Structure 1
Amino acid sequence: MSKITFSTKEIKMLKRNPNVQSVSERAITYTDSFKNRFMDEYLGGKLPRQIFMDNGFDVDVIGIKRIEQSAYRWKKAYKKDGLIGLTDSRKSGSGRPLKRELTPSEVIERQEARIKLLEGQVELLKKLEVTERRLLNENLESSRVYQLISETIEQSGFKRMTKYFCDFLEVSRSGYYSFLQAYTIREAREQLDLKAKEVILKAFNRRGYKKGSRSIKMILENEYNIIFSRKKIQRIMKKYGIVCPHRKANPYKKIAKATKEHQVVPNKLNREFKQGIPVFVNIVVAFSYFSVVFSQGYRATLAGLMI
């Protein structure tokens, strides 16, 4: 505990802070929401002193030693029990053991508080299990994973589980926070893409039939005086599901090709066209052929002379 004591004026000033549950001359009790917010911003890279200053605390009044002690205590509790470790359990149980026996009403009260705590832990684990299954079923790139983590944290209420989800999905926590900071840039880019989509759809549906990226590019340049690169047109079409239908293959042609036979004749001779015939036989055949031709020509010549 810090040795700094608060004056009456300082106590009144601290009580006006919504992050303070109660304050005395020597101690401050912070709200659970502030402790959860502290851990979230601390895991995001902020220093404890800066977090206290951003939430309306005067460092000179509460003292840097008290801030360091609180940060150490909350980090240790968060590492051990998670979000539940940050809750104030002094109402349900005291750190000093009682020497007397508890009355039946006190026993019942403590058991009820324990049951409520266990029920809260079970509900938290159920939500966490559903969230983990949802995240694991998605096989996406980093930007889509960051968006899914952001949506999951907002919908399920796990506002202090950023580090857990990033480690669970094996993505960078600094990349996740950079993704959140670039929200305005992404929104401006999305608006530009929507405007480009409207222009592309005009060219896409012109003259009653759908077109591809090449035709869209030429129509935009020639008729609308708008110059888009073909890559940009393809990106917008892919992003918003603008698909140009392709001509389907004729199934009857495939069937006809599949039923045809002997399209390719096997090469059995391999350009050896005179297999099995001796060379001298070829010479004899050639000689007899030329002799017949010569004799026929000779006879025709003699017949002409006789005439």
Structure 2
Amino acid sequence: MKEYTTKELQKLNENPYTLKATKNKISHTAEFKRIFWIKYQAGESPRKILIDLGYEPTMFGQKRIDSLVQRIKKQALSGKGFTEGPNRNKRVKIVSNEEFTPESFAQMQHEVLYLKQEVEFLKKITKVANTKRRQ
């Protein structure tokens, strides 16, 4: 396993999303995990998310990034919230369905329907463009 240098440790510990970094391990805040999960679900790559959150992906090997994704995914799907620190008992609550209003559900349904229409439109445009290229 790669050990972090003193310079890398300083950069990691200066990041507001780092709870604690040692030469072998980095612990992230629950807020980092929450933001990471939202962006990951939206289709962003883990490396881009790390950059957006102020980390240099070159400090992390691919195995470490994959492990991070798996841990965050496991915590998100557990329904118990994201853990923070070695205690593992301190959890930050994931927003439950009960906190959404009927209006927000209606808005989300509207957005989903709109996005579906948009995808179908893009498929048709692509099909027409491909047909014209063949001619």
TM-score, normalised by the number of residues in structure 2: 0.69
| Alignment partner of 1:85 is 2:85 | no
Asked which structure has the greater CA Rg, the reply is 1
Q: Matches of residues 1-307 of structure 1 in structure 2 within 5 Å?
A: 3-81=1-79, 84-88=80-84, 90-91=86-87, 93=89, 125=96, 128-129=97-98, 131-135=100-104, 145=107, 166=108, 169=109, 171-172=111-112, 175=115
SS of residue paired to 2:23: coil
CA-to-partner distance for each residue in 1:69-118, whole Å, 9 max, x for gaps? 1011111221121xx4313274264xxxxxxxxxxxxxxxxxxx7xxx7x
Cα 1:73/1:174, change in 2 over 3 Å: farther
Q: Is contact 1:44–1:174 with CA below 8 Å preserved after alignment?
A: no
Distance in 2 separating the partners of 1:58 and 1:70: 15
What amino acid is the match of 1:131? F
Q: Is contact 2:27–2:85 with CA below 8 Å preserved after alignment?
A: no
Cα 1:80/1:8, change in 2 over 3 Å: same
SS of residue paired to 1:21: strand
Distance in 2 separating the partners of 1:41 and 1:129: 22
Distance in 2 separating the partners of 1:46 and 1:135: 24
Report the alpha carbon displacement of residue 52 of structure 1 after superposing the two structures with TM: 0.5
RMSD across aligned positions (CA): 3.1
Report the alpha carbon displacement of residue 61 of structure 1 after superposing the two structures with TM: 1.4
Cα 1:75/1:135, change in 2 over 3 Å: same
SS of residue paired to 1:172: helix
TM-score, normalised by the number of residues in structure 1: 0.33
Gaps of 5+ in 1: 94-112, 139-144, 146-165, 179-307
SS of residue paired to 2:19: strand
Q: Is contact 2:19–2:28 with CA below 8 Å preserved after alignment?
A: yes
Gaps of 5+ in 2: 119-135
What amino acid is the match of 1:75? K
Cα 1:132/1:4, change in 2 over 3 Å: same
What amino acid is the match of 2:100? T
CA-to-partner distance for each residue in 1:207-231, whole Å, 9 max, x for gaps? xxxxxxxxxxxxxxxxxxxxxxxxx
Report the alpha carbon displacement of residue 170 of structure 1 after superposing the two structures with TM: 7.4
Q: What is the total number of aligned residue pairs between the two structures?
A: 116
Aligned-residue sequence identity (percent) comes to: 24
Q: Is contact 1:49–1:64 with CA below 8 Å preserved after alignment?
A: no
More strand by share: 2
Q: Is contact 1:49–1:59 with CA below 8 Å preserved after alignment?
A: yes
Q: Which has the higher contact order (CA 8 A, sep 6+)?
A: 2
